[in-house]
Amino acid sequence: MDSTLLATFRDRGQPAQRAQSLRSSIIIAVDHARVPRIEVVFETDRLLLRPWRVSDAAVLRELWTERDPRVPPHRRISPDGHPTLEDIEDRIRRDSRHPFPGLLAAEQKSSGQVIGYCGLIPNEHGRAGEPELAFEFLREVWRQGFATEASWTVLQRAQASGYRRLWATVRDWNTASRRVLAKLGFVETGQVEPDEIHGDSLFTTKTL
């Protein structure tokens, strides 16, 4: 990278539930091929939420390997080792072509290491304009409040972008994620997608 211009601004009037101010950065960079690239980075007290880089692929694969065995097979490493590190690198390259990726890498400011992700994904249950919140962090940083901290930032940006309601689905056995969602103000709707093998999916929602 030959040059980087960093401009930072502070949002005002964010929800009272979060005393921390939200800081956003727009990084305009010129790489060695002289192709302009724009990254939007959201900053919290301890994290930078930014687009994925190919160099982050090993962390993303580690997240796959750490998933609970009750998670459906298509979201775990297969018996033949897929997705491989190369598979994930290719996926990051493809996704980087989209100017505003939904799931952002969560980089710990103190170490410079990616420790998980957080962001919005399309709602697969037919509710247009009401995306789903998603987050996942390495086991080594569990119980330190990173998922809650990152999610508050995403919620604030969603509200500032005009969204009025968000959803989140969670397996009934995933008590840690259910606690995070409760802290964020998500409420269980009573809608359940039964699954005797992998655990029922609970539907939660939050009005912004």
User: pLDDT tens, 133-150?
Assistant: 999 999 999 999 999 999
User: pLDDT tens, 49-62?
Assistant: 999 999 999 999 99
CA distance 26 to 108: 18
CA distance 121 to 204: 15
Q: Map tokens 């269980």 to a residue.
A: 188
Q: Which of 37, 34, 44 is nearest to 10 (CA)?
A: 44
pTM: 0.81
Q: How confident is the model at residue 106 (pLDDT cuts 50, 70, 90)?
A: very high
Q: What domains can you pick out in the chain, each with its CATH number?
A: 52-207 (3.40.630.30)
